Structure 1
Amino acid sequence: MSDQTPPPIRVMLVDDHEVVRRGIVTVISSHPRLEVVGEASTVAEANRRLPAIRPEVLVVDLQLPDGTGLDVMRRAREVEPEQTILVLTSFDDDAAVRESRESGAAGLVLKSARSQEIVDAILAVHGGGSIWPAGHESEEPELSPSDARIVELIGDGHSNREIAEQLGIAEKTVKNRITVILQTLGMQRRTQVVAMVAARRRAGWR
């Protein structure tokens, strides 16, 4: 009977500091379950390469010379709506965590983390888990139960009319509530809500 060894997890790394990127590539590649299949140092390069590479896990820095990691994350979600994303950054302030979470990342790990912690984080998010710095694990904008239900229905792909029918309210009310929900979550588009719900479900949130 042959030994059915699963193929390595395909990882793409986006970081503009070559020395840092080389070091992280070495760390990732040293693990038998991980393989770096693509690298990029700018938003433009990452966005150009993503459709061809289609990594299982995208590891991206927030600070890039021609934009931010959030720009790369948005493009990744366009290419693959279920893309698993891990933010690798030097900053774990509230804004970085919130923006990463809202853009659909499954976690955030600091560049100062030990090599094994970076590897563990990649394996965790690939397995459907979430990794956030201490103090940020349960941080989430407060929504009323009815608005939270609307968010779930948006994530299921329902239109405003369908949501209105399910909840027994006017379609105009749904539209108004979605406007408030987007403001509460710090988002501009409905697609961002869809991406957030997908990330939460992968991570086992309800």
Structure 2
Amino acid sequence: MIVDDHEVVRRGIADVVAAAEGLDVVAEAGTVADAQRRGALLKPQVALVDLQLPDGTGIDVITALAQSSPDTRAIVLTSFDDDDALAAAVQAGARAYVLKTVRGSEIVDTVRAVAAGRVLLDERTLTRRRQAHPDPTANLTASESKVLDLVAKGMTNRDIADELGLAEKTVKNHVTSMLAKLGLSRRTQVIAWVASQHSTSWR
């Protein structure tokens, strides 16, 4: 299934995929709602999903497919060469993150690889992320590292305080310091960042 709100782009991708031996396009969608409905009905083996859609995002599509068609493997195909977008895609469970600047043959190769069960990520994007972000957790104290792990699990300051036997104010101070050292501003960014770090072991 191909999900992209630009019909010309969608048709172009569909033509490339359909022309490849052993691959069939079973559905096309231009919105999150269309993708959710058709995905649930047809349960495609692979979904090529754009990130920006008129009624939401490709992340919404991937999240919905995980519920309605858990065997569908998602590939993000986007024009956004963006660290936050990559992290969000990884967190949602995307198997690959491919830029629209790639050749048609690379799209076909990625579809085949993901259909076969592999997890791929755009190597250039990952390399740039690793170079731009050397391990900032090396600067965390032992307590901040524990707090990082628990924040990444979605726990509140009160939950973390109970878990670690600390005062809630102490936990808040650890969170503030940890965010500053990681260059983040929100707890949700911590969850996405940790997910993106785990992605390097998927290859």
Q: TM-score, normalised by structure 1?
A: 0.61
Gaps of 5+ in 1: 1-11, 157-162
Alignment of 1:155-174 (within 5 A): none
Match of 1:130 in 2: 121
Match of 2:202 in 1: 205
Match of 2:100 in 1: 111
The reply to whether residue 54 of structure 1 matches residue 51 of structure 2 is: no
Out of 83, 87, 91, the position equivalent to 1:101 is 87
Q: Secondary structure of the residue that 1:128 maps to in structure 2? A: coil
Q: Percent of aligned positions with the same letter in both sequences?
A: 39
Q: Is the 8 A contact 1:108 1:133 kept in 2?
A: no
- Distance (whole Å) between structure 1 residues aligned to residue 54 and residue 11 of structure 2: 18
Greater strand percent: which structure? 1
Q: Which has the larger radius of gyration?
A: 2
Q: Is the 8 A contact 1:106 1:131 kept in 2?
A: no
Q: Is the 8 A contact 2:95 2:118 kept in 1?
A: no
Q: Is the 8 A contact 1:59 1:87 kept in 2?
A: yes
What root-mean-square deviation, in Å, do the aligned CA atoms of Structure 1 and Structure 2 show? Answer: 4.4
The amino acid across from 1:108 in the alignment is Y
Deviations, residues 133-153 of structure 1 (Å, cap 9, x unaligned): 444464778558878788889
Tell me the CA shift for residue 60 of structure 1.
Answer: 0.7
The count of residues paired between Structure 1 and Structure 2 equals 188
Q: Is the alpha carbon distance of 1:129 and 1:51 closer, same or farther for their aligned partners in structure 2, counting shifts above 3 Å?
A: same
Alignment of 1:57-76 (within 5 A): 57-76=46-65
Tell me the CA shift for residue 63 of structure 1.
Answer: 2.0
Gaps of 5+ in 2: 154-159
- Distance (whole Å) between structure 2 residues aligned to residue 69 and residue 86 of structure 1: 10
Q: Is the 8 A contact 1:40 1:46 kept in 2?
A: yes
- Distance (whole Å) between structure 1 residues aligned to residue 118 and residue 109 of structure 2: 10
Tell me the CA shift for residue 32 of structure 1.
Answer: 2.2
